[in-house]
Amino acid sequence: MTDWELVDISDDKPESFIEDLENLDYGGLESDVQNLHTNFWKDADHLTEVEDRHLQVLVSSGMIPEDHIASTEPSRKLDWFVKELNGRLNPDGLSIPLKGLEIEDIEIYQKTSENESVIKLNLTEKDGQELERIMNIPNDSPEFNIQANFYNNRLYLRW
């Protein structure tokens, strides 16, 4: 895997960004293992309280101690990260509200290999406190390229 590369952040409005994932209709044709597993977790209402408490511990520690979950389902780690920051996950990216931050307070780095892509997000508040999160993102294309836009106090990442 290569070293971290800095991602340029544009302050332009992002092009046609899908904001609402839940309104997408796949017509019942999405049935790969990852989607079935994700749908199982969404429909497992009896596990919601346990999952929420577990998620709270994971988020407060800033990491996922279960290496097996992180390695077998990196999308779950990404989903937790996005929920932690009250963002939205979309098929081609994510959006996160970052009220109170300016574009210069945000740094995004990427590492890409042939089978995975990793994003590192560094946020620095006005008082100097920093938040750093590292997440795996889907890399289905050999011409993978991440685009970052900070528009209207919202960070948009597209891949």
Instruction: Determine if the pTM surpasses 0.85.
Output: no
Per-residue pLDDT of 31-62, as tens digits, reads 677 777 777 777 777 777 777 777 677 666 65
Regions of the chain short of the pLDDT cut 50: none
pLDDT at residue 50 in the model: 79
β-strands 147-151, 130-137: how paired? unpaired
Query: Within its chain, how far is the Cα of 90 from the centroid?
Result: 9
The helix/strand/coil state of 7 is: strand
The pLDDT of residue 95: 92
Sequence letter at residue 8: D
Could you tell me if 82 and 96 are in contact, meaning their C-beta atoms sit under 8 angstroms apart? Answer: yes
Tokens (6 digits) for 81: 């990260």
Question: Which region, left, alpha or beta, applies to residue 135 given φ > 0 means left and ψ of -120 to 50 means alpha?
Answer: beta
The amino acid sitting at 90 is N
The rounded distance, in Å, linking the Cα atoms of 38 and 30 is 11
By three-state DSSP, how is residue 53 classified? helix
**Predicted pLDDT at 64:** 54
Task: Break the chain into its structural domains and give their ranges.
Answer: 5-13+36-158
